[in-house]
Amino acid sequence: MSDRRINALVLAAMAVGFVWALFSARHTPVANSPLPGAVVVPEMVPLVTGEEETTLIFTRAGCPVCHRIPGIAGANGRVGPPLLLGITGQQRLADPAYRGRAKTVHEYIVESVVEPGTFVVPGYPTDAMPTWYGAKLSALALEKIAVYLEQQTKEETSQER
């Protein structure tokens, strides 16, 4: 048999196999699937549900690694700005470089998590805040974070922790 015929037979077998795989995949039900075609992947699972205590939400989300956060043990990060939004929130909203849509400190906090590049506090690196937090934090967790941070008006010293 010539090489051309062998190549043609191999291609024909591959085409038949491909068509068969497509046809059988369409007609094979997925057992125990809550919705047709629904697939849960790790990227869809939130870091926190919002049912956790506020300190646990911050810890699981990794906020203490980069930020100083009053009242959160181990939150001594220096990559991002200190999260004293009860003091600095209005200043950030009034900054001429701010181009976001938030009108309140609460909205600013949510916006900063969901769209971190909207405003970067001067003196801190751009693109340091992960952009996926908005997808990995539940709405309730994000609400708890915002409520907590907008109440922070005093930076604690290490003795107060």
Q: What one-letter code names the amino acid at 104?
A: T
What pLDDT, on the 0 to 100 scale, is given for residue 78?
A: 94
What pLDDT, on the 0 to 100 scale, is given for residue 23?
A: 60
Please give the full DSSP string across the chain, using - where no structure is assigned.
--HHHHHHHHHHHHHHHHHHHHHHHHTSPPTT-SSTT----GGGS-SB-S-S-HHHHHHHHTHHHH-B-TTSTT-B--SS----HHHHHHHHHH-TT------SHHHHHHHHHHSTTS---TTS-TT-S-TTHHHHB-HHHHHHHHHHHHT--SPPPTTT-
Question: Per residue in 3-53, pLDDT tens?
Answer: 777 766 666 666 666 566 656 555 544 445 455 555 655 555 567 888 999
Question: Per residue in 97-131, pLDDT tens?
Answer: 999 999 999 999 999 999 999 999 999 999 999 88
Among 23-32, 52-61, 134-143, the least confident range: 23-32
0.75 exceeded by pTM: no
Higher pLDDT, 139 or 6: 139
